[in-house]
Structure 1
């Protein structure tokens, strides 16, 4: 008949937690594992829905249906339609706007205008941004979120352009990057997003020259 090991003997010592005999560790019960392929499918579905119906008519149900997932999969990643779209617009804006580095203020502004013109003419951006601004006018919380997403990357890029120009002696060090952004992007946004017209030939060249002159005159 087997006997119990004597107290204090090696076989009676407690086994250290996490030892080889414990087997593979398991994720805690209930822990959410967000599969990247599902996340990407949802993102693709959102872009497709935005292009098809715009922000105001887009629904989580339609996004989930287009992605081939349940609504729960969407809500696990984003708490609302607004947060989902803001996340995508933010990523889209950051990816689409590298910092220009041409060696001159005029060249950097011209490159920035070229990039922004492509961004603002993108079918998703041209539909989503006006819808987001309408929502922002109704809700201060949404307005703050939209301001953070739409202006953060552009202001950072304008700051980099102004600092580079100051380093070359083209502008004073205290030049306001937001003023530069207003002068450069304001007319472009008006033509492409509000009026929704085509840019005349040479428009970006003329605008870059005008903004360069205005910033130097204002300094």
Structure 2
């Protein structure tokens, strides 16, 4: 606990108007620690490729999130060499039970999806990802008995058929028109990106669920 307080004290900006002898409660230290872990870092970029070429470049602002927070990312198809027709992103949890704790004596792995975003992206240059993390789920943890991990599960539907670009065809009246193809040869590719989920402030959960909460204020 003291080592954590020293770490947070070094990371926090100094304020000459605050008393140096003030002591933080356990809840305040825990909240500051969560803020330090889940604060915005530098963006991470991932080039998703297929055997036929590049599919998309994905940008994730950070990889650690709190319960109730939004997962925000950017999908860039401008430099893709393989046309992507549609995509879906699912927030999934993986629960791994050790062999010593399972009834069958074997390691058990179960995957569960919680929220999903699906969109068509043919001829799009960029689009965004926005997934809300539910408040009722369990954060990431690990023990000798079980481990709970979180990941973003991507599914890309790509086409190998030539698709005409918008504006390449003109109607008899001289206006540009585009008609979608009736049949497309498609392939599906999956990609998993691990992330970490942490707890959130109890007050945020109480306000979102409209549950009663108790607060105390002491004036010295």
Q: Structure 2-normalised TM-score?
A: 0.26
Q: Structure 1-normalised TM-score?
A: 0.26
More strand as a share of residues: 2
More helix as a share of residues: 1
| Larger Rg belongs to | 1
